Amino acid sequence: MEEHRRWSPSCPLLRISTANNAEDSVVYEECGLIEIRPFSSPENSKPLLKQLRIREPVHRAYANYDMRMQSFQTWPISKPRPQELVEAGFFYTGNGDETVCFNCGCGINNWKPTNDPWIEHAKWSSECSFVVINKGKDFIQKTISKEQPLLQPKVSI
């Protein structure tokens, strides 16, 4: 559990957890009380992922960081840098500057040097579990609220 906490501090399973004893952990999340036992079998993980609202990756081959990085060998522009895009979950399709998230399948192109891949990912795919797990819901909400107009149109009745 310490290694998990060290390498994935934003993981929703670690956010609000309390240890009952050396074998059990109980996690309180938005979706309710979840019991997680160490050494649980892989066949039990699918219901847990569903309960946490985490979908399986759309492009499973690119779930691996190195595979995503390799896809950028012919990346045509210098910014955003491939490393920034890969960290935000994107792989390069080989068409223009089109990138796709391995997890949710969201495609983004027409990148500008000032674009932040995490912000663009959150803006265009706020439900992506990769963004939620790595950046958190607060980051997503702040990103979305910055994109909304401050003034609402006046409506005449």
CATH of the domain at 121: 1.10.1170.10
In this structure, are 43 and 70 located in the same domain?
no
pLDDT of residue 43: 57
**DSSP-assigned states of every residue in 117-150:** HHHHHHHH-TT-HHHHHHH-HHHHHHHHHHHS-S
* Structure-model confidence comparison of residues 27 and 107, the more confident one: 107
In this structure, are 134 and 66 located in the same domain?
yes
Predicted confidence (pLDDT) at residue 35 exceeds the cutoff of 60 = no
In this structure, are 46 and 75 located in the same domain?
no
pLDDT of residue 1: 63
> Given the DSSP bridges, would you call strands 32-36 and 90-92 parallel, antiparallel or unpaired?
unpaired
Residue-range definition of the domain harbouring residue 115 = 60-147
**Global model pTM greater than 0.75:** no
In this structure, are 141 and 77 located in the same domain?
yes
28-42, 106-120, 138-152 — which one is most confidently predicted on average? 106-120
- The rounded distance, in Å, linking the Cα atoms of 145 and 2 is 34
* Cα–Cα distance list, 152 to 114, 130, 149 (Å): 27, 32, 7
- The rounded distance, in Å, linking the Cα atoms of 143 and 91 is 22
Confidence of residue 34 (pLDDT cuts 50, 70, 90): very low
Confidence of residue 78 (pLDDT cuts 50, 70, 90): confident
Give me 9's structure tokens: 């501090």
Question: Is 68 domain-assigned?
Answer: yes
Terminal C-alpha separation, the chain: 59
* Mean local confidence (pLDDT), 93-115: 96
Strand partners, 33: 28
Q: What is the count of structural domains for the chain?
A: 2
Q: Where are the beta strands (DSSP E) in the chain?
A: 17-19, 25-29, 32-36, 90-92, 99-101, 107-108
In this structure, are 46 and 64 located in the same domain?
no
In this structure, are 97 and 139 located in the same domain?
yes
- CA 133 to the chain's CA centroid: 5
Predicted confidence (pLDDT) at residue 37 exceeds the cutoff of 70 = no
Give me 30's structure tokens: 């938005």
pLDDT digits (tens, 9 = 90+) for 134-156: 999 999 999 999 865 544 554 54
